Amino acid sequence: MPDRFAAGENSANILQLIKLKKYFGGLKAVSDFSMNLRSGELKGLIGPNGAGKSTVFNLISGLHRPTDGQVLLDSENITGRRPDFIAGKRVARTFQTVKLLANRSVLETMMTAFFSAYDYNVLSAILQTRRYRRQEKELEQQALHYLAKLGVDHLKDFFFFFFFFYTTLFRYFGRA
């Protein structure tokens, strides 16, 4: 599968959000939100509590259907598609909890992002078949690649729980 995040000279839009709107009853959670993300770009979405940040991610990942607007991934309209379909396109959201990942390393946690790429069953994992070992090694290399892109590959063996607090301290104090 090509690396849609690799920057190129003529980087195309990999994600387009076009005039997204989401209403919950009479509450306007998102209003006319548009954004383009090109290959190689890293963007953040910031705002106060209740500004609609999580709702935007829920619209992208299919957890909510937009009231209006479009979500395009690699020029394909994925607006309102089911989360499992969108996850199959290698797009998913995470939640703001570390309890599930407390006993996992940063590397193992990053590997969970590629769950849809796993092509073996539980029995293969239990028996540690050749196919299982090969795919685990490929997933590990892919996860290491993205950790390096984020500049945190040196923290790959940290337990995620400690990594969460390490990065929180780093953001707060500017160093850790």
Q: Tokens 């290698």 map to which residue?
A: 90
Q: Among 49, 64, 88, where does a domain finish?
A: 88
Give 132-155 pLDDT, tens digit per residue: 999 999 989 988 998 898 888 888
Residue 111 and residue 135 in contact, taking contact as beta carbons nearer than 8 Å:
no
Give 74-132 pLDDT, tens digit per residue: 999 999 899 888 888 878 777 665 555 667 788 888 887 776 677 788 888 889 999 89
Cβ burial 8-40 (10 Å sphere, 16+ → b, else e): eeeeeebbbbbebebeeeeeebbeebeeebebe
Q: Among 67, 88, 109, where does a domain finish?
A: 88
pLDDT of residue 176: 39
CATH of the domain at 65: 3.40.50.300
Structural domains counted in the chain: 2
How many angstroms separate the CA atoms of 93 and 74, rounded? 17
pLDDT of residue 68: 96
Say if residue 105 is in the same domain as residue 48. Answer: no
Q: Among 28, 57, 88, where does a domain finish?
A: 88
Indicate whether 7 belongs to any domain: no
pLDDT category at 169 given cuts 50, 70, 90 is: very low
pLDDT category at 173 given cuts 50, 70, 90 is: very low
- For residue 138, the enclosing domain spans 99-173
Q: How far is CA 5 from CA 14, 73, 95, in A?
A: 8, 12, 22
Say if residue 27 is in the same domain as residue 70. Answer: yes
Say if residue 26 is in the same domain as residue 69. Answer: yes
